[in-house]
Structure 1
């Protein structure tokens, strides 16, 4: 609302300055004894516009900084996750849940999940994530940010695994080995299950208010064939201090 008021104020000021310049021109034409076009010094007008632009930039920066300093949380009563793929897919999301009841952003997220692979999966495995936010009754795509949050394309998720470029005999990081999770591809055919997995949620690299309704669709693709799909919906609200 503050940003909207700044824009309205700028428009009104520009209109007033324009009318002032026109009135000065009419006055000089009216009292001039010759037909030469009067010369009007617009330097004051330009300085006024520059001053308004500078003031608006400062106020807009203050507004965005206030937004970036706010804490947010995911409303636990308004989020869900479900497998959106057919039964013939190779990757099945059997279970996916989040906790605690109030998930802070930034903060920690606890995940419980159970995923079944029907066959061994070799690299490259691409992933397409589409994240949308509700704006005035319409879903709008959120672009991919510098920290890979939003609507992003991952050419090969295998390269995101910690031992992707390590020799096969390199031990997996303890965090993954304790959970019996793979640290490089290929991913073996079996059931993967995690309980109470702790994940850090960073503050997205956008200086805008985050509260609102979101929906996410993520698809895994192997050789141009969709092998897995999940839909997630959630609502972000501003945390109370």
Structure 2
């Protein structure tokens, strides 16, 4: 769940109209993830299953996930995101441009509030399953049963289409790492 949220946050960053490219008839291939934190990180992703493979945009996505945290996750939650793109066989770090790319975000809770403003119900199916979509996240286990989503066309910067990508997100608090997640995927669009 957290890796999906992280991917959504990265894909919805601010950008000018001329730098956007409508991602239509795109495929996300070879999606893999893993925890990258230390053995004592309090927050971990336990499972994340996505289908079909490849994932079509626009199109239907089926997802299930489970995660746990042994501590309450409260603001501020600094988030460091690193995105790399494979170019000619080398991995190149994408710089932070207009809050998109390899960026430091002072508070992931603020990002969540931008996606789902306070006072609004969490989107489905999170609402139906009683799953939170904004801070604080109480200590405990979270589980999203197999659920269906529709992925609409997306606007992405021209430099973030077609290619192989690696993304790492590290969540912290008071100079301590709370969670770390790595995602690798390929994007191919018309």
Output the TM-score relative to the length of structure 1: 0.59
Note if 1:190 corresponds to 2:190: no
Q: What is the match of residue 71 of structure 2?
A: 119
More helix by share: 1
More strand by share: 2
Note if 1:210 corresponds to 2:164: no
Q: How many residues align?
A: 167
SS of the aligned residue for 1:158 comes to: helix
Q: What is the match of residue 98 of structure 1?
A: 50
- Unaligned runs of 5+ residues in structure 2 are 1-18
Note if 1:137 corresponds to 2:64: no
* 8 Å contact from structure 1 (residues 68, 208) kept in 2: no
Q: 1:179 to 1:163 in 2, by over 3 A?
A: farther
Output the TM-score relative to the length of structure 2: 0.73
Q: CA RMSD in A?
A: 2.9
- Unaligned runs of 5+ residues in structure 1 are 1-63
Note if 1:231 corresponds to 2:179: no
Relative contact order, higher structure (CA 8 A, sep 6+):
2
Q: 1:121 to 1:226 in 2, by over 3 A?
A: same
Q: 1:131 to 1:111 in 2, by over 3 A?
A: farther
1:193 CA displacement: 0.9
Please give the alpha-carbon distance, in whole angstroms, between the structure 2 residues aligned to 1:208 and 1:121: 33
Q: 1:91 to 1:208 in 2, by over 3 A?
A: closer
Q: 1:137 to 1:177 in 2, by over 3 A?
A: same
* 8 Å contact from structure 1 (residues 141, 151) kept in 2: yes
Please give the alpha-carbon distance, in whole angstroms, between the structure 2 residues aligned to 1:207 and 1:115: 33
Please give the alpha-carbon distance, in whole angstroms, between the structure 1 residues aligned to 2:93 and 2:40: 29
Q: Which has the larger radius of gyration?
A: 1
Q: 1:72 to 1:179 in 2, by over 3 A?
A: same
